Amino acid sequence: MSRATGTRRHTIAVIAGDGIGNEVVPLATEVIDAAGVRHGFTVDWTLYPWGSEYYREHGVMMPRDGLDLLAQHDAVFFGAVGAPDIPDHVTLWGLLIPIRRGFHQCVNLRPVRHVPGVPSPLANPEGTDMVIVRENVEGEYSEVGGRFGRGTDAELAVQEAIFTRQGTARVARYAAELAAARRGQLTSATKSNGIIHSMPFWDEVVAQTVAAQPGVQLRSLLIDAFAAAMVTRPQQFDVVVASNLFGDILSDLAAACVGSIGLAASGNLNPERDYPSMFEPVHGSAPDIAGRGIANPVGQIATGALMLDFLGEAAAAGCINAAIDTVLRDGPRTRDIGGTHGTRDVADAIREEMAHADVDR
């Protein structure tokens, strides 16, 4: 990995992972290094070759001391995980989930914004600018449950959702504080008319928590109506708070609404900063296009900007995001958003735009 030069130093663990992660992560680190040169900080990258290939060789997605190794860093920069020949629950629960839960990354932050000129499946995506705050360590994605009577006609599966007062209040508080710093509008995703225990509990705790935050208007919206509203008038949403499952689904839907899931960044945050936070794009490993040089690098690069902002490098993050906007508007573009250019072309254009912007400034 390359290094930037500067007075401030950040140590970042890199897990490129699988598929297109191995293509977009190196390019994103180049952009971040370029930002460091211009904005006076140094990034020390440490590459960890964990993922599906590691699993094929060792039978685990990462070594037993993986979390101890990652804990030595300021943040984790993650690419993607998943391979067609390994069950998804093995790859996810063997790598991403242990990091999220081991480092108490209770907030999954997913900004969604439409850049003018980017094609969208919606008739009118312009003005869409929201942040989805997803609860990240409990809820529907729990380990509680099991399967009984395997292979028989009476086989059944039980999966328990786990909602705690502490966990729900924590993510609601984060979302409310974020909404107070934006437009003051917070929408909570629920399904309390059909899920009679966990969702009314979610509604109650969210309402109680948000009531303590001045200047924030809360509304609850049933998840089915929420999905419809997301594709009819996404501009109405400012900050969204949702459970683990609902937040996962809504954020992918929102990303598609503004052009492509390949544009979407996310951060798995430990708000207290007791442990490293992990930053990963939303798009996944995309094995169908891996190795072809056509993956969109914007999601990974934007994820890098999100990481820099969290680390206190707001000017550098803003510079990267401004360059992304220009390139998305004027090109080059990858195929998923109507272009013909490759992964390297787009990443280089973003880096060049950053350099021009600095000269102009």
Active-site residues: which are they? Answer: 141, 191, 224, 248, 252
Burial class (CB in 10 A: 0-12, 13-18, 19+), 25: buried
Q: What CA–CA distance (Å, rounded) separates 130 from 348?
A: 28
Print the SS3 string covering 96-162: HHHHHHHCCCCEEEEEEECCCCCCCCCCCCCCCEEEEEEECCCECCCCCEEEECCCCCCCEEEECCE
Please, what is the end-to-end C-alpha distance for the chain in angstroms?
29
Burial class (CB in 10 A: 0-12, 13-18, 19+), 7: exposed
User: For the packed helices 223-232 and 244-257, what is the interaxial angle rounded to 10 degrees?
Assistant: 10
Q: What CA–CA distance (Å, rounded) separates 311 from 6?
A: 15
Q: What CA–CA distance (Å, rounded) separates 194 from 203?
A: 13
Print the SS3 string covering 192-255: CCCCCCHHHHHHHHHHHHHCCCCCCEEEEEEHHHHHHHHHHCHHHCCEEEECHHHHHHHHHHHH
Residue 61 and residue 341 in contact, taking contact as beta carbons nearer than 8 Å: no
Q: What CA–CA distance (Å, rounded) separates 38 from 332?
A: 23
Q: What CA–CA distance (Å, rounded) separates 156 from 193?
A: 25
Q: Six-digit token pair at 63?
A: 């070594």
